[in-house]
Amino acid sequence: MEVLSTIFDWITLALKAADLLPDFSSPRGIFCTIAWLSTVISLVMLVLSIFSDFGGEGMDVADGDTGSFSVRALVGFALGLGWGGFIAIQSGAGVGLSIMVGLMLGAIMFFIVAGIMRAIYSLKADGSLNYSSLVGMTGTVYVTIPPHGEPGGQVQVAHPSQMITMPAVQEGDTPLPAMTRIEVVAATTYQLVVRPISSTSTSK
């Protein structure tokens, strides 16, 4: 505890020497408080987003698809407001001008972060596969599919966006060996239900 207390005292002295000590007794101190709080929150969110799924869709306040009003965007606004206003007032600007600078920088940060989140969610949406779209597509058996719906088989289907290899079952009475041409008749996230394509169907 004594070591922690010493470290805290050093940090306090360093912040005070750099005139970066937050307080609520002046506009400068309020801007500084907002800046440090938003900085700490953004760092915590960064760490949590790296080591867990926290900070994904669950953190979105209003628009889960684009993240335009996510907590990240609001923290970005607070970062711009706090540091923008603090730097302005430290440079000799009046309180009113410092508030305007902080608001403008906060708005810029908000839209930058919202734009990044929109791009991330867009990429995520583009990268997710709608498995129902596989129904009706054709492919080949990759690993022999046992009969009567027994698991263990795999197929490859050439989806327009990618080559997909998935577990597959079939309702026929005989196994479907590798390289057998198949058609997908049903699809879930976990497996496909397929049927063999006869040579007659193929010729048609």
Task: Provide DSSP, 171-197.
Answer: -SSS-B-TT-EEEEEEE-SS-EEEEEP
Q: How far apart are CA 165 and CA 151, in angstroms?
A: 15
> What's the pTM?
0.49
Measured between its terminal Cα atoms, the distance across the chain in Å is: 81
- pLDDT: which is higher, 53 or 130: 130
Residue 32: predicted pLDDT: 84
Contact by Cβ (8 Å): 72, 55: yes
192-196/162-169 β-pairing:
parallel
Rg of the chain in Å (alpha carbons): 29
Q: How far apart are CA 67 and CA 115, in angstroms?
A: 8
| pLDDT exceeds 50 at position 64 | no
pLDDT tens digits along 102-159: 999 999 998 888 777 776 655 554 455 677 788 888 899 988 999 988 888 889 888 7
Answer positive or negative: Cα dihedral of 80, 81, 84, 87: negative
Q: Is CATH 2.40.50.140 the right assignment for the domain spanning 131-203? A: yes
Answer positive or negative: Cα dihedral of 108, 114, 120, 122: negative
pLDDT tens digits along 156-196: 888 776 778 889 999 888 999 989 899 999 888 788 899 99
Name the residue ranges covered by the structural domains of the chain.
Answer: 2-127, 131-203
